[in-house]
């Protein structure tokens, strides 16, 4: 069985986002895109699209929204 290397996996994951051309915050702001992708992990380690408005990764946004829902919409 042929198992891909980490570098091959990284390269394969980059292709769709590079083709989209939306790989930087500056470019996303220029074209008024809601999201952009850099491939750089966020502070929590997620590799996901980021919101252009606040630069938060989409996975962190999901986690924060769930936590807020569990608190009943109340902040500490």
The per-residue pLDDT of the chain, averaged, comes to: 80
In a domain, 33, yes or no: yes
Cα dihedral sign for 31, 33, 38, 40? positive
Give the model confidence (pLDDT) of 50-62 as tens digits: 999 999 999 999 9
In a domain, 1, yes or no: no
**What confidence score (pLDDT) does residue 18 get?**
43
In a domain, 62, yes or no: yes
Give the model confidence (pLDDT) of 28-49 as tens digits: 888 888 889 888 899 999 999 9
**What confidence score (pLDDT) does residue 8 get?**
77
In a domain, 32, yes or no: yes
Closest-CA residue to 48 (of 69, 5, 17):
17
In a domain, 75, yes or no: no
Tally of domains within the chain: 1
In a domain, 49, yes or no: yes
Structural domain for 25, as ranges: 6-70
Taking residues 20-30, report their average pLDDT: 77
What span, in angstroms and rounded, lies between the C-alpha atoms of 40 and 26?
A: 15
In a domain, 36, yes or no: yes
């Amino acid at each position: 069985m042929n198992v891909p290397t980490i570098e091959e996996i990284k390269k394969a994951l980059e292709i769709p986002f590079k083709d989209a051309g939306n790989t930087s915050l500056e470019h996303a702001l220029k074209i008024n895109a809601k999201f952009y992708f850099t491939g750089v992990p966020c502070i929590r380690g997620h590799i996901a699209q980021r919101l252009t408005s606040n630069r938060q990764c989409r996975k962190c946004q999901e986690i924060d929204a769930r936590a807020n829902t569990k608190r009943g919409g109340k902040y500490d």
